[in-house]
Structure 1
Amino acid sequence: MTLKWENITLYTGTGEKLTQSAIVVEDGKIVATGQEAVKMAASKTIDGKGKTILPGLFDMHIHLGMDGVADPFAEMAKETQASSAYRHQANAVKQLQSGVTSVRNLGSKWHVDLAYRNAVNAGLLTGPTVYGSGQPIVMTGGHGYPMASEADGEDEVRKAARQTLKQGADVLKLMATGGVMTPGVDPGSPQLSEKEMRAAVEEALHAGKTTASHAQGTQGIQNAVRAGITTIEHGIFLDDETIELMIEYGTVLVPTLAAPYYIVQNADSGAIPPHAVKKAIFCLDAHQESFRKAVKAGVKIAAGTDAGTPFNLHGDFAKELELMHECGMPIRDIITSATYQAASALNVQDQTGSLEKGKVADFIVLSEDPEDNISAFRSVDAVYKGGTLVHGHSNRESVYTK
């Protein structure tokens, strides 16, 4: 069947906006967009007057094994592999229903995200496309160690990288600095060294994979950039020198503005570990200012939320986009950061990430235009994955059903 949406506003994901436009899909792929699509006939046509279509969104930093509870590491300590797998599916469905058709999962204990990805790819479950890191690689006692593979020195890190790639990781996650949630570590302090991270980066490159580094402090960010990391996660303390270095290396920033924001917003709940509240309050303003400076300087940005951290719920991707806008990023650039730029950071931009002929038909239908109203990202009328309606008012089947 050929499906056509017509009379729509369409953002391609590459910076172009088309009005009174159309999109035609068949066999899971985009057949045409723009004027070519307007002129085409289709076996099923939907009048999209007043609607806006975007490429399916990418959340480039999530934790499917974490729910957004106040103390995720305490919950994880009671988890089993089986219960974690169920949690992955429940959280992934929330992502899909919010318009996120692709996720980069940056840390799951027992590499459960890789098994979940395989189940989705095999058609056992309906969920977003998953690009997984398995367990992150950290120094002994480093940030996130309760869910990670601990390794010290270049040889151990190289071996841990190879073992993680053996498990089927799409991306290697490395901890360059301390972080907010782990007790006893400083977000600004370096952890894995430049040489240690370079060993893992080399192994990823040999396997044709990408890398991501949790990096909050300035020195740790610079270590990661010089090591050849694909994306910097968080980037809380960016100075001019570090920003210039990122531009020189082509390093992508995944800001996750929502992560400290939600901890600070819920600081008085009494449920979040006090060490995390203290560190988040200290980091919040610097984080937003670093993002503003990075955007102004022209650093590549890919949108990501760190969903699963305290009160940072799956399915709330729109909040990250709203915070990016509040910090000065134009709407059209935000859309690119959540679509084409994200796909590029995963090296899959030739297959997905924009609404172009021949690409996978992942797209979402909004009831408003985000350039008219930023809250339009919350008004998701329909979600298509591979040309199939997986969420929407006209979809009478549950997304759990195949």
Structure 2
Amino acid sequence: MTRTLLVRNGHVCDVETGEASVQDVLVSDGRIQEVGTGLSAPSSATEIDAAGQYLLPGLIDAHVHVSAGTADLGAQAEDSPFYVAAQTGRILKGMLDRGFTTVRDVGGADFGIAAAVAEGLWPGPKVHFGGKALSPTGGHADLRGSGRQVLDNHACCPNIGTVVDGVADVRRAARAQLRTGADHVKLMLSGGVASPTDRVDSLQFSAEEVRACVEEAENANRYVTGHAYTARAVNRGLKLGVRCIEHGNLIDASSVELFLEHDAFLVPTLVTYEYLHSEGAAAGLPPASQAKVADVLEAGLHALDLASKGGVKIALGTDLLGDMHRHQSDEFRIRGQVQTPAQVLRSATLVGAQLLGREGELGVVAPGATADLLLVDADPFADTAVLAHPERHLRMVLQDGRVAVDRLSGSTAASA
């Protein structure tokens, strides 16, 4: 049965130009059919009066861990997969309630989570997944403490990553993720905060291992994204063919040049450091990881400013863990310190869609696009607070042309 929806008289946001104009949007079978004034629809169509509201594309968070119900990822690796799944369902619903209709999971989510959302078993954003991130022994996804020798790498364990060493193992692991339908493969190219035994400034994987993973991803028409902080790690990854860099807090001008040369993406995740600093201990972040937060916290805004002014393609990411997921929207406020509201919104829509290979389908309000749409009660091009505070400003979420969250008519969805 054809489902038709007409949203009338909303201020439709063109995220590319940063302008909004009063128009109607006609939706049928989950896709936008027309955008214009005075549109008509069949008598059976549902109409939404959006007068005074701003209509924009659903948001894309390009760096999440939807299964991370705690900041102690090492402990979660030993939890029941059923318990982790229950936490995942709650986390996904919270993201949708905040206006995120698509996310890219870069460690932990698999084909089962993506299918659960796609089939309507869980309310949540569409999940682009990479499966388990690849880490060398002692690397960012090796979550054993320094005194523990036993490693359980079983595919069913709820780890965010898997430990592999050597070119042959990297190829096998990359193929294993791609076999399940993964949209990308993630490599840990440097140390990180949440891992117990590596330094933030360390390099991880040999050049040969990185090249092998890039080749496997390219053979499958997919790409490699890399966790990296320092300019040394970022630049090395870009030169070896990595298409996207996660975090990049310590990049420099040479990194910006390489991003442009290789047409690569950057996904900063500033909000996670702010809340790891203030709430990490309460959320389960181990002491060894708490001590590393300061290494990257102060540099993040400078790196974002450098990349933004340099013309790097920047997507929006958050990387939150445990109870800190509730701060997801605060990434808009933080980025607003160095970027305009239009630039931040573009990162969370157009650029995110480009990274996912779904240009024209996601991130725009245009004919042919998926009808993932938000109604907010103020101009998102004027103030990042509009999207930073969905509990105040977000009135409705449409996903695939269906009303997923409705605060416009008085019913309020619960957030997690």
Q: Quick check: TM above 0.5?
A: yes
- TM-score, structure 1 length as denominator? 0.91
Write the distance in 2 (CA, Å) between the matches of 1:323 and 1:396.
30
Aligned equivalent of 2:155: none
Counterpart of 1:98, as a letter, is R
Matched, 1:254 2:256: no
- Picking from 52, 55, 63, the partner of 1:61 is 63
Deviations 1:78-103 (A, max 9, x none): 41222222222111111111000001
Distance (whole Å) between structure 1 residues aligned to residue 252 and residue 127 of structure 2: 33
Specify the alignment match of 1:71 in structure 2. Answer: 72
CA–CA distance in 1 between the matches of 2:9 and 2:354? 29
> Matched residues in 2 for 1:368 and 1:29: separation?
25
Q: Is the 8 A contact 1:210 1:346 kept in 2?
A: no
Asked if residue 155 in structure 1 is aligned to residue 175 in structure 2, the reply is no
Q: Distance in 2 between matches of 1:155 and 1:290?
A: 35
Q: Is the 8 A contact 1:9 1:17 kept in 2?
A: no
TM-fit CA distance, 1:274: 2.4
Is there any run of 5+ residues in structure 1 with no aligned partner, and where? Answer: none
Alignment partner of 1:386 is 2:400: yes
- Matching residue of 1:39: 38
- Which residue of the partner structure matches residue 346 of structure 1? 356
Give the distance between the partners of 1:81 and 1:168, measured in 2 at CA. 20
Deviation at 1:258, TM superposition (A): 0.8
Q: Which residue is 1:123 aligned to?
A: 120
- Counterpart position of 1:18: 20
1:221-232 correspondence to structure 2 within 5 Å: 221-232=234-245
Counterpart amino acid of residue 226 in structure 1: K
The answer to whether the Cα contact below 8 Å between 1:264 and 1:280 also exists between their aligned partners in 2 is yes
Whether the 8 Å CA contact 1:15–1:336 is kept in 2: the answer is no
Distance 2:370 2:33 in 1: 10
Separation in 2, partners of 1:97, 1:124: 16
Q: 1:88·1:113 contact (CA, 8 Å) conserved in 2?
A: no
Amino acid at match of 2:348: A
Partner AA of 1:200 in structure 2? C
Question: CA-to-partner distance for each residue in 1:129-184, whole Å, 9 max, x for gaps?
Answer: 10011110111121022422211222221111011111221111110000011112
SS at match of 2:250: coil
Q: Does 1:189 pair with 2:202? A: yes
CA distance in 2, matches of 1:255, 1:245: 16
Match of 1:319 in 2: 330
Could you tell me whether the CA contact under 8 Å between 2:361 and 2:369 is conserved in 1? yes
Aligned residue in 2 for 1:273: 286
CA deviation after TM superposition for structure 1 residue 269, in Å? 5.4
Cα-to-partner distance string for 1:259-283 (whole Å, 9 max, x where unaligned)? 1111222367595422222211121
2:110 corresponds to 1:113:
yes
Q: Give the SS at the match of 2:291.
A: helix
The offset of 1:230, in angstroms, is 2.0
- SS at 1:323 equivalent: helix
Deviation digits for residues 275-299 of structure 1 (CA, Å, limit 9, x no counterpart)? 2222111211112211111111111
Q: What's the RMSD between the two structures over aligned residues?
A: 2.2
CA distance, structure 2, for counterparts of residue 78 and residue 154 of structure 1: 28
Dislocated runs of 4+, deviation >4 Å: 267-271, 395-399
Report whether the alignment pairs 1:140 with 2:137.
Answer: yes
2:378 corresponding residue in structure 1: 368
SS at match of 1:184: coil
Residue type matched to 1:71 in 2?
D
Deviation at 1:125, TM superposition (A): 3.0
What's 2:233 paired with? 220
User: Percent same amino acid at aligned positions?
Assistant: 30
TM-score, with length taken from structure 2 = 0.88
Asked whether the equivalents of residues 234 and 254 of structure 1 are also in contact (C-alpha less than 8 Å), the reply is yes
CA contact (8 A) 2:110 2:182 kept: no
Residues paired across the two proteins, number: 389
**Is contact 1:29–1:387 with CA below 8 Å preserved after alignment?**
yes
Letter in 2 for 1:334: V
Q: Which has the higher helix share?
A: 1
User: 2 CA distance for matches of 1:120 and 1:270?
Assistant: 26
1:299 alignment partner in structure 2: 312
Matched AA of 1:144: A
Name the residue aligned to 1:204: 217
